[in-house]
Amino acid sequence: MKRFLAILIIMVLMLPGAALADEGSDRVQIQGDVVVGTDEVVFGDAVAIMGNVTVDGKVMGDVVSIMGNVTINGEVMGDVTAVGGRITRSDSAKIYGKVTQVGVGEGLKDIIKNVTKYGIHWGSGRRGITIFNMGFPYVFKIMHFLGLISLGALAIILFPNSIKAAADVVDKELGRRFLIGILAILLLPMALFLMAITIIGIPLIPLALLLVAAAGFYGYLGISIFLGRKLNEQLHLKPGIFVEYILGAVLLWLVQMVPFVGAISGLAVLMLALGITADTRFGTKIIA
SS3 content of the chain, % helix, strand, coil (to 5): 50, 15, 30
**Residue 42: is it exposed, middle or buried by C-beta count within 10 angstroms (0-12/13-18/19+)?**
buried
pLDDT in tens, the chain (288 residues): 444 444 444 444 444 333 344 444 778 776 678 999 999 999 988 888 778 999 999 999 889 887 789 999 999 999 898 877 889 999 999 999 888 886 655 444 444 444 444 443 333 333 333 334 444 555 666 777 777 888 888 888 888 888 888 888 888 888 888 898 899 889 888 888 888 888 787 888 888 888 888 888 999 999 999 998 888 887 777 677 888 888 888 888 888 877 777 788 888 888 998 988 888 887 776 665
Return the exposure string of 104-117: e unless at least 16 CB atoms fall within 10 Å of the residue's CB, then b.
Answer: beeebeebbeeeee
Could you tell me which residues are beta bridge partners of residue 75? 58, 94
> Is the pTM here over 0.75, yes or no?
no
Which one, of 139, 91, 95, lies nearest residue 115 by Cα? 139
- How many of the other CB atoms lie within 10 Å of CB of 174? 12
Contacts of 100 (CB under 8 A, 6+ apart): 79, 80, 81, 82, 240, 242
